[in-house]
Structure 1
Amino acid sequence: MVAKRGREGAGREKTPLERIWHFLWYEDSVASWVVSILIAFLLIKFVLYPVLGVVLGTQFPVVAVISDSMEHDQSFDAWWARQEDLYLQFNITRSDFKEFPMQSGFDKGDIIFLLGTKPERLEQGDIIVFSGGKEYPIIHRIVSVDVAANGARRFQTKGDHNLGQIVNPPLLDERNVPESTVIGRAVLRVPYLGWVKIGFVNLLRSIGIAVS
């Protein structure tokens, strides 16, 4: 009787839900992989991402680094020798910088987690993400904090790798970053994981699907 029930069960026609599950979980076809990746992307973007945004208090809780403007491609001593004069303009010494968060910067393709932070709690050396008139938000380090008479803050920023601030008004002027443009403060780095998003977004764009 047991064997008979097994044969009968094996011959039972799968329900639509079972067929979908089999296609996604058991099939090893290109179509199955593409659909699975697309579903994972949608779940992250429309479920996990918004939940993280609520928890971390920012509309962009996770960002993928898409440029090398925060990269340190040398030892710290060699990097500092090239950058020292720039930072001394903001009264930032070598020992000051060694105490900054993520003092070794980060690389293109890394993932950065952000925390929503009140402007008055942002300090020199913090790394922030802000909207700067470009297609994507900018992630650079605060080098100076200016406080107006009414208490409003304006920040000056610079990419660790860059040999100066970006000054291209009205699109972007790193000498004048209003507090209203700040999206969040960088608190955690996950190396390389951002390449997954960068590659997938580039793939979708190559076939005419616009994503942000």
Structure 2
Amino acid sequence: MIEKIKKFIVRIFFGDDYLSDILFLIFIFIVYFIIQIVYPPLFSVIVSPSMEHYYFNFQKYEQYNITQQEFFQFPYPNGLYVGDIVIILPINTQYLRIGDVILYKGISLYKNEDIFHRIVGYNNSNFIIMGDNNPGPIIFEGENNMDPNRIIGIGILRIPLLGYIKLLI
């Protein structure tokens, strides 16, 4: 019985016929749906241009005492673009630092949206965050005084453009 299971697994991953290709796609979909049930934000798609760097202006970071040299050592110094997938991992907020790109739960206009923005400072035990393409923190979203409980996780890996598949669906 174990030998049959091993052969089946080898066929799924290393087979060279159409059936093995179909079985592999089914495997990928099953894994994706399991992830969506266990931790939905794992593969999050960028849907707004708030982190894009087409017309990036660094000067707004100077008011938060962030130098240009420091900025380019942050994660994603070249921005995140619509259609990118970012892999998000949950994190204890005490380990977050200035420059990290986080995913947080929107509360006002974007109630049902998760938003990616960068931590630029601290306000007592809360965070100050903003999008790289925004002129400053979004006040009505509470970005000037972000409660750590709203933070879903931290971006650890960017996969360019692959999110367009999800956006089109």
Shorter-chain TM-score range:
0.7 to 0.9
Residue matched to 1:31: none
Aligned equivalent of 1:121, options 87, 95, 111: 95
Deviation sequence 1:140-198 (CA, Å, 0-9, x none): 00001234xxxxx3111110111222122xxx121011010000000100000110001
Counterpart for residue 142 of structure 1? 119
Distance in 2, matches of 1:44 and 1:157, equals 33
Contact kept, 8 Å, 1:123 with 1:145, in 2: the verdict is no
Q: Which has the higher contact order (CA 8 A, sep 6+)?
A: 2
Give the aligned partner of residue 83 of structure 1.
Answer: 58
- Checking the alignment, whether the CA contact within 8 Å between 1:83 and 1:163 is kept in structure 2 is no
Q: Is the 8 A contact 1:141 1:159 kept in 2?
A: yes
- Alignment match of 2:41 (pick from 40, 46, 60): 60
Query: Which residue matches 1:183?
Result: 152
Output the amino acid matched with 1:157: I
Structure 1 alignment gaps of length 5 or more = 1-24, 27-36, 54-58, 148-152, 201-212
- Whole-Å separation in 2 of the counterparts to 1:145 and 1:62: 27
CA deviations 1:84-133 (Å, max 9, x no partner) are: 1x111111111110111111111000000011111110000000000121
TM-score by length of 1: 0.62
Is 1:109 matched up with 2:96?
no
The sequence identity of aligned pairs, in percent, is 33
Partner of 1:69: 50
What's 1:32 paired with? none
- State the one-letter code of the partner of 1:47: I
Q: CA RMSD in A?
A: 2.2
Instruction: Indicate how the Cα distance of structure 1 residues 83 and 121 shifts in structure 2: closer, same or farther if over 3 A, else same.
Output: same
The reply on whether 1:156 has 2:128 as its aligned counterpart is: yes
Q: Counterpart amino acid of 1:43?
A: I
Deviation at 1:138, TM superposition (A): 0.8
1:57-100 Cα distance to aligned partner (Å, 9 max, x none): xx5211010011100115xxxx3xx331x111111111110111
Asked if the contact 1:141–1:157 (Cα under 8 Å) also holds between the matched residues in 2, the reply is yes
- Normalised to the residue count of structure 2, the TM-score between the two structures is 0.76
- The aligned length equals 144
Q: Which has the larger radius of gyration?
A: 1
In the other structure, the counterpart of 1:165 is 137
Ranges in structure 2 where 5+ consecutive residues have no aligned partner: 1-17, 20-24
